[in-house]
Chain A
Amino acid sequence: MNNGNGRRLNGETEEDDDDEGSEGDLDAWERTYADERSWESLQEDESGLLRPVDNKTLYHAQYRRRIRSLSSQATTSRIQKGLIRYLYIVVDLSRAAAEMDYRPSRMAVVAKHVEAFIREFFDQNPLSQLGLVTIKDGIAHCLTDLGGSPESHVKALMGKLECSGESSLQNALDLVHGYLNQIPSYGHREVLILYSALSTCDPGDILETIQKCKKSKMRCSVIGLSAEIFICKHLCQETGGSYSVAMDESHFKELILEHAPPPPAIAEFAIANLIKMGFPQRAAESSIAICSCHKEAKVGGGYTCPRCKARVCELPTECRICGLTLISSPHLARSYHHLFPIVPFDEVSSSVLNDPRNRLPRSCFGCQQSLPNPGNKPSLRVACPKCKQHFCLDCDIYIHESLHNCPGCESFRHSKSPIATEE
């Protein structure tokens, strides 16, 4: 069940380490019991019989569906993507978040995946900023302001994990609206609400608030943890966001990570715009300076703002002194692939596989491991429509979600030899 998790490189591995540390005294069998809960993924068919679950194909089918929906949007029209995002994550910490249908509790599961999401988010959108808001006792609190440092957000969230009282969607939206309204027009305003409760206790008319959000072009998305709620659906429809409800923990993780790649820009809002940015130099190792963000003297490290020469510790950020957006060129480069996604690979149909006249490559072009024999397991390979190379399912996911380059096409561009020999 863990294939494909490798792509969440930094976030996952660290977290796995933590788990091992805390649960080190468990035996291996206990651990599979406590962590994986494999019985939950059992399914019943119509007559109530248990159906064995083929996780790998299932996972791949989900991924293909996702990628197809993405590419179908992309092919119909050339879509502009909002690369500079200002996202508020609203975490519902009302009474309902203490419920135990996710283990150990909804709140803990949400926190865990928000942490992973924050890291993934900055990985994919280096130019963007993010803030955290919680709802508790019917009131919305701002946990962290918009900022570009994953660590500070994660720390702030983990310190505040307790829940009580009602939930209020309107209060949260009002608060976030107040913050996001000041964002310059090139930034994309987004809200992602992780909603545990099934109702909202509002001080006023929430429908007005929704209209207000719509007017100021906030894209509100909701991930529900228990069931579909009308007002959330309405909110998402009005503001152009997406609404989804998680079936279980792994589905929740999938849903939240869907929000990591930048969404298509709202049409009337997507005017071409020139933005002033600075590319600061890394300071010399031995130089000592007081950084503008922590107000501490530091030896080495840090970057110098090209306009006002102030010292900052991390990139990307906004200069505290002159307000210039500071980034490095790899950040820009990493955002680039969103604009030119690679086309989804075609599944090799079983008729082609079974046809003895076709001589198919034996191994995956990506990892060189041998592909399954056409005889016993058909259709478990995909082919790139451009370079016609075959790949295994794991490579397919890795190429689309992490690498963003097709190894076949790339090698074809540099040397034509491998293709030539095959033909």
Chain B
Amino acid sequence: MKFQIEDVTVYFPYDHIYPEQYAYMVELKRALDARGHCLLEMPTGTGKTIALLSLITSYTLSKPNNPVKLIYCTRTVHEMEKTLAELKLLHAYQTTHIGDRARILAVGLSSRKNLCVNSRVLAAENRDSVDASCRRLTASWVRAAAVANPNLPTCEFFEEYEKAGSNAVLPPGVYTLQDLRAYGKEKGWCPYFLARHMVQFANVVVYSYQYLLDPKVAGYISKEMQKESVVVFDEAHNIDNVCIEALSVSVRRQTLEGARRNLNKMRQEIEKFKATDAGRLRAEYNRLVEGLAQRGNLPFTDNWLSNPALPDDILKEAVPGNIRRAEHFLHVLRRLVQYLEGRLETDNVEKEGPVGFVASINTHAGIDQKTLKFCYDRLHSLMLTLEITDTDEFLHIQTICDFATLVGTYTRGFSVIIEPFDERMPHIPDPVLQLSCHDASLAIKPVFDRFQSVVITSGTLSPIDLYPRLLNFHPVVSRSFTMSLTRDCICPMVLTRGSDQLPVSTKFDMRSDLGVVRNYGRLLLEMASVVPDGIVCFFVSYSYMDGIVNSWNENGILKEIMQHKLVFIETQDVVETTLALDNYRKACDCGRGAIFFSVARGKVAEGIDFDRHYGRLVIMFGVPFQYTLSKILLARLEYLRDTFQIKEGDFLTFDALRQAAQCVGRVIRSKADYGMMIFADKRYSRHDKRSKLPGWILSHLRDAHLNLSTDMALHIAREFLRKMAQPYDKAGSSGRKTLLSQEDVEKMGDGILNEMQY
């Protein structure tokens, strides 16, 4: 269908549109007009992605003299593929309607592991080793050597790509990762380098968050993006954590040992070079005198690191004299590693600001701040000079240099925390030194500054006014949209009491109470007997899950549950969890019924969907607060309070509730789906907790469902499941339109907008 939003003609590939999608597009269009950033919350299953894509591409089409580039960031490769598939559909629709003018180039970009077509390289198991083995075949010196000695292996795809030179371009169209691989195979060109090359020219780029947020990667992938771009962060409810992780480093004993090994290896290499090719080292020295900025004219297969968020003027400075020579630099690093080793040998938890830490390095190891700041680039340069291709083996020393540069660069928003053992297992010494970033706005600031519009969108962004404060930006539009439903297909409930009317909670003083454990067990057992197919349970932590499942096992509840459904458990091991998930799905498919025990903030809670019969009910046992005694969290809370005036309690509740919402949101993935959500903790009935849930859950949470005991919940569940099993009319009754045709949209105008917002 085709309709007008103000001055933009929107091409939408489906015959019908949900009213909230329309409202979403209108808001988005206004944000684009204002060239500002925006925050949009809309429940999953309402077609956010297609609304975004279709509005932004149509916007470009309507204003041909001012083309906008769309940079779409997703969290996982799977989401990337889904987005590209939708875009393909949209593109096909647009080209049939307005012909060649609508032609665009859209590429997905992922790591070598997902794009490589060379079978020898793909044999490596993880991402880092794929990268390394690719470099082994394509680094400039390897290729130069291969010219002289044809027996050296090179990558035939890359050679072909290089040979084609500037002719190696993608014709317009939408390329998913699979399409890229197929195209690469057909032409004999390396898809990874082709995609990286085409990113600059493409109208739409779909890639992972890291390519924009992680300064190490962002520097070289996203450097050449034009300012007139719209950046979209999809599923961005955890964006602050992604930003923080991008700038945090943790150093363990193994890291330091590995770093020592790396240093020894490098020393040997230097000795070798001294004997054979002293000129190289000399040339490097001269280059460093002139400044790091000169590095730009290196062949681009070689640049694999870039500076973490360093201001440009530092790049132009000359590298400090004491690390210009390779041996001297190694000495500095050795002293640094030794110093860090000394710091790890402590019995108490220590916390320090970066300034104090740098000062103490200076006094104890004699390395000043400026030297630290350059470690990263100096290492990079050295590794290029030494022609090291096995980058995966040198990860440890890279981590150390990351750490050094970050601690040398930032004076605020970070702290260094040394813990001699894990708080939860005090008997096992496991010293760890962490440089943790507290300020999410540091990593995302360059993105906000550089691009015209940044769109942050997700199914759960409540409370929506907190995100601008956390990320330190000023959105021109921040809206939350509800979901228009033909029937009440979600049924959230707050369960506060067990069947014996005693309160249930995972509060610290209550969680090990036998009565609470039993009440939780009875709840699950009763629910297992009335809910068909799949049930998903989320616990607040692994240790709590282990404990409660153990005691259920002891008092026989688990056995009773197993009579109704099979039980699967998420573990910290990815392979085991994947297998459990697989079998869980199988059990749901064949009608046996199954329960999946999982942990909030775990892998399953973030990325796995339990739609349709895979999740008819989700039970959130307790409120998933973060581990509040963690030193890192405490430091971050303190920072947030001092800098952004966000109260500790507010932030903790916000964080816990967004996790809870994220967990329960797993069961609803489309409007035709239905599911129940039980929040089993008495604290959810308090207004300050509950009000932080996203609007689309709150609007279905009736007052009668706020303070339930197990038996009442059971009754509601029975009724709900029966009601949902009845056939229904998809388009909605005449009073409440939930699917709009083209005429409806034209008739309606602005009336709908106000209806869809909170």
Q: Which residues of A contact B (CB under 8 A)?
A: 48, 96, 101, 169, 198-202, 205-207, 224, 226-232, 244-247
Known: A226-B721, A228-B725, A230-B613. A202 touches B590 (CB 8 A): yes
**What are the 7 A-B residue pairs with the smallest beta carbon separation, nearest first?**
A231-B591, A245-B725, A230-B613, A227-B721, A228-B725, A199-B593, A200-B591
The answer to whether B724 touches A228, judged by C-beta atoms less than 8 angstroms apart, is yes
Partner of B702, one of A48, A201, A231: A48
B534 to chain A, nearest CB (A): 9
**B:554-569 near A, CB below 8 Å:** 564-565
Bound-state Cα–Cα, A101 to B711, Å? 13
* B747 located at the interface, meaning its Cβ lies under 8 Å from any Cβ of chain A in the complex: no
Stretch of B24-32, B164-172, B346-354, B525-533 lying at the A interface: B525-533
The answer to whether A245 touches B726, judged by C-beta atoms less than 8 angstroms apart, is yes
Which of chain B's residues has its CB closest to A231's CB? B591
**B:713-735 near A, CB below 8 Å:** 718, 721-727
Known: A48-B704, A198-B530, A198-B531. A230 touches B591 (CB 8 A): yes
Q: Mark B142-178, 1 if CB is under 8 A from A, else 0.
A: 0000000000000000000000000000000000000
Which of chain A's residues has its CB closest to B591's CB? A231
A246 / chain B contacts, CB cutoff of 8 Å? 722
B536 to chain A, nearest CB (A): 15
Bound-state Cα–Cα, A199 to B724, Å? 18
A232 / chain B contacts, CB cutoff of 8 Å? 591
The answer to whether A226 touches B591, judged by C-beta atoms less than 8 angstroms apart, is no
| 23 A-B pairs whose Cβ atoms sit less than 8 Å apart in the complex | A48-B703, A101-B718, A169-B591, A198-B531, A198-B532, A198-B533, A199-B532, A200-B592, A202-B590, A207-B589, A226-B530, A227-B718, A228-B532, A229-B532, A229-B591, A229-B613, A230-B532, A230-B533, A230-B612, A230-B613, A244-B727, A245-B726, A246-B722
Bound-state Cα–Cα, A215 to B588, Å? 24
Kindly name the residue among A198, A199, A228, A245 whose own CB sees the greatest number of chain B CB atoms within 10 A.
Answer: A199
The answer to whether B725 touches A199, judged by C-beta atoms less than 8 angstroms apart, is no
A110 to chain B, nearest CB (A): 16
Bound-state Cα–Cα, A229 to B534, Å? 10
Bound-state Cα–Cα, A200 to B587, Å? 10
The answer to whether A228 touches B721, judged by C-beta atoms less than 8 angstroms apart, is yes
Known: A48-B704, A199-B591. A227 touches B722 (CB 8 A): yes
A201 / chain B contacts, CB cutoff of 8 Å? 592
Partner of A227, one of B591, B702, B725: B725
The answer to whether B589 touches A230, judged by C-beta atoms less than 8 angstroms apart, is yes
Q: A227-B530, A247-B723 are in contact. List 13 more A-B contacts (CB 8 A).
A: A198-B529, A198-B564, A199-B591, A226-B722, A227-B721, A228-B724, A229-B533, A230-B589, A231-B589, A231-B590, A245-B722, A245-B725, A247-B726
A200 / chain B contacts, CB cutoff of 8 Å? 590-592
Partner of B592, one of A96, A101, A202: A202
**B:565-597 near A, CB below 8 Å:** 565, 588-593
Which of chain A's residues has its CB closest to B529's CB? A198
Which of chain B's residues has its CB closest to A245's CB? B725
Which of chain B's residues has its CB closest to A99's CB? B529
B720 to chain A, nearest CB (A): 9
Kindly name the residue among A96, A227, A228, A245 whose own CB sees the greatest number of chain B CB atoms within 10 A.
Answer: A227
Bound-state Cα–Cα, A101 to B727, Å? 22
A198 / chain B contacts, CB cutoff of 8 Å? 529-533, 564, 593
B718 / chain A contacts, CB cutoff of 8 Å? 101, 226-227
The answer to whether B725 touches A224, judged by C-beta atoms less than 8 angstroms apart, is yes
A213 to chain B, nearest CB (A): 15
Which of chain A's residues has its CB closest to B722's CB? A247
The answer to whether A199 touches B592, judged by C-beta atoms less than 8 angstroms apart, is yes
Q: Which residues of B contact A (CB under 8 A)?
A: 529-533, 564-565, 588-593, 612-613, 616, 702-704, 718, 721-727
A208 to chain B, nearest CB (A): 10
**Which secondary structure dominates where chain A touches chain B?**
loop
The answer to whether B532 touches A205, judged by C-beta atoms less than 8 angstroms apart, is no
B532 / chain A contacts, CB cutoff of 8 Å? 198-199, 226-230
B579 to chain A, nearest CB (A): 19
Bound-state Cα–Cα, A224 to B724, Å? 13
B240 to chain A, nearest CB (A): 37
A228 / chain B contacts, CB cutoff of 8 Å? 532, 721, 724-725
B723 / chain A contacts, CB cutoff of 8 Å? 247
Bound-state Cα–Cα, A244 to B531, Å? 16
B529 to chain A, nearest CB (A): 7
Which of chain B's residues has its CB closest to A48's CB? B704
Which of chain A's residues has its CB closest to B530's CB? A226
Kindly name the residue among A96, A198, A232, A244 whose own CB sees the greatest number of chain B CB atoms within 10 A.
Answer: A198
Bound-state Cα–Cα, A205 to B587, Å? 11
Bound-state Cα–Cα, A199 to B465, Å? 45
Bound-state Cα–Cα, A101 to B703, Å? 25
A101 / chain B contacts, CB cutoff of 8 Å? 718
Bound-state Cα–Cα, A200 to B591, Å? 5
The answer to whether B722 touches A206, judged by C-beta atoms less than 8 angstroms apart, is no
A96 / chain B contacts, CB cutoff of 8 Å? 529
B395 to chain A, nearest CB (A): 45
B727 / chain A contacts, CB cutoff of 8 Å? 244
B588 / chain A contacts, CB cutoff of 8 Å? 230
Which of chain B's residues has its CB closest to A204's CB? B590
B716 to chain A, nearest CB (A): 12
Kindly name the residue among B565, B724, B726 whose own CB sees the greatest number of chain A CB atoms within 10 A.
Answer: B726
Bound-state Cα–Cα, A35 to B564, Å? 32
A207 / chain B contacts, CB cutoff of 8 Å? 589-590
Which of chain B's residues has its CB closest to A200's CB? B591
Partner of A199, one of B564, B616, B702: B564
A202 / chain B contacts, CB cutoff of 8 Å? 590-592
A48 / chain B contacts, CB cutoff of 8 Å? 702-704
The answer to whether B702 touches A206, judged by C-beta atoms less than 8 angstroms apart, is no
B567 to chain A, nearest CB (A): 13
A343 to chain B, nearest CB (A): 23
Known: A101-B718, A199-B564. A206 touches B591 (CB 8 A): yes
B722 / chain A contacts, CB cutoff of 8 Å? 226-227, 245-247
A233 to chain B, nearest CB (A): 8
Bound-state Cα–Cα, A246 to B721, Å? 11
B564 to chain A, nearest CB (A): 7
B564 / chain A contacts, CB cutoff of 8 Å? 198-199
Bound-state Cα–Cα, A246 to B726, Å? 8
Bound-state Cα–Cα, A244 to B726, Å? 7
Bound-state Cα–Cα, A280 to B565, Å? 55
Bound-state Cα–Cα, A247 to B588, Å? 23
Bound-state Cα–Cα, A205 to B478, Å? 51
Bound-state Cα–Cα, A200 to B594, Å? 11
Bound-state Cα–Cα, A198 to B535, Å? 13
B529 / chain A contacts, CB cutoff of 8 Å? 96, 198
Bound-state Cα–Cα, A106 to B71, Å? 58
Bound-state Cα–Cα, A202 to B532, Å? 16
B725 / chain A contacts, CB cutoff of 8 Å? 224, 227-228, 244-245
Bound-state Cα–Cα, A138 to B634, Å? 56
Bound-state Cα–Cα, A95 to B225, Å? 65
Bound-state Cα–Cα, A199 to B590, Å? 9
Kindly name the residue among B533, B589, B590 whose own CB sees the greatest number of chain A CB atoms within 10 A.
Answer: B590
Bound-state Cα–Cα, A101 to B589, Å? 26
Bound-state Cα–Cα, A185 to B529, Å? 41
Which of chain B's residues has its CB closest to A207's CB? B590
A169 / chain B contacts, CB cutoff of 8 Å? 591
B531 / chain A contacts, CB cutoff of 8 Å? 198, 227
Bound-state Cα–Cα, A96 to B702, Å? 30
Bound-state Cα–Cα, A272 to B612, Å? 42
Bound-state Cα–Cα, A245 to B723, Å? 9
Known: A229-B532, A230-B533, A230-B613. A206 touches B590 (CB 8 A): yes
Bound-state Cα–Cα, A273 to B714, Å? 53
Kindly name the residue among B591, B592, B721, B723 whose own CB sees the greatest number of chain A CB atoms within 10 A.
Answer: B591
The answer to whether A205 touches B530, judged by C-beta atoms less than 8 angstroms apart, is no
A245 / chain B contacts, CB cutoff of 8 Å? 722, 725-726
A80 to chain B, nearest CB (A): 25
